[in-house]
Amino acid sequence: MYLLSFVLCPSIWSILVKVDPALQTPMYFFLSNFSFLEICYVTATIPRMLVDLYTLKGSISVLACATQMCFVLLLGGTECLLLTVMAYDRYVAICKPLQYSLFMNYNVCVQLVTASWISGIPVDVGQTYQIFSLHFCGSNRINHFFCDIPPLLKLACGDIFVNKLAVYVGAVVFCMVPFLLIIFSYGKIISNILRLSSAKGRAKAFSTCSSHLTVVVLFYGTASVTYLQSKPSQSEGMGKLLSLFYTILIPALNPIIYTLRNKDIMMALRNFQTKLLM
């Protein structure tokens, strides 16, 4: 019971990486940042949704809506970049093991994580400003669980071609380009793994990548359909369902996906549980 509660709590997951010496490697450094990102991601949407469900009002100011959308975009872009960094880490570990400590030293890891967090800030702030500079007429009701670009554009009046183009460009830069880099990294990884003579070595290498691949497929699959959809008339129900997946369900599942298939994390969880109960 205690073990399951730790698995389900991303904040405990992050603390484990900080306090357990066995987890202080580049891979777990990236995973701790990823876990913290997921905490921020769900915090940007769930509290407001719970307040709306409790009060049954569902109203939000323009400033609060813009702030929420900006954070969702920023955190989503950061997740795309961080997943790419994690794929690169696996690529170096499997394809260039003798140079791993050189390529992935502490300073490089910090620089990669910092770049993932801050590179999207000017773009996302600019895109949020552009969206909320539009003229909105008619209904002021957003048919969505939170403030997101597609439902807001449906309320805008006049020509929004430039805004749609900006959304597509942003999605390509922060979603599709990182995704292609991940595919390239895993192409190299799989090619290298298949050349291993030991079946046990191949199984271990695939095991270290399977969790990351699962997260990539889940996140990119739903986010890409939402922001790269070709038809603006996509059903609103489907759009809301996909948004729930990549902003709430997937961030909640990610710590479980990474934990249950990782022996080091499971051992650290047991040790942490033992210390708490002593």
Q: Can you spell out the DSSP letters for 18-70?
A: HH-GGG-SHHHHHHHHHHHHHHHHHHTTHHHHHHHHHHS-----HHHHHHHHH
Mean predicted confidence (pLDDT) in 35-56: 84
- Cα separations (Å) of 120 from 7, 73, 220, 234? 30, 9, 17, 27
The answer for residues whose C-beta is within 8 angstroms of residue 249's C-beta and 6 or more apart is: none
Tokens 């954070």 appear where? 71
Residue 5 confidence (pLDDT) above 50: no
Looking at 3-12, 193-202, 257-266, which range is the least confident one? 3-12
**Separation between Cα atoms, residue 26 and residue 174, nearest integer Å:** 23
d(CA 78, CA 175): 10
Mean pLDDT over the full length of the chain:
80
Are 246 and 145 contacting, i.e. CB atoms less than 8 angstroms apart?
Answer: no
Task: Please tell me which residue, 2 or 60, carries the higher pLDDT value.
Answer: 60
Lowest model confidence (mean pLDDT) among 31-45, 72-86, 235-249: 235-249
pTM of the model as a whole? 0.84
Number of domains in the chain: 1
pLDDT exceeds cutoff 80 at 271 = no
Q: Domain holding 169: CATH number?
A: 1.20.1070.10
Q: How confident is the model at residue 2 (pLDDT cuts 50, 70, 90)?
A: very low
CA 50 distance to own-chain centroid: 22
Please state which of the ranges 17-31, 60-74, 142-156 shows the lowest mean pLDDT. Answer: 17-31
Which domain, by its residues, includes 202? 2-277
With beta carbons less than 8 A apart as the criterion, state whether 80 and 178 touch.
yes
Give yes or no for residue 140 having a pLDDT over 50: yes
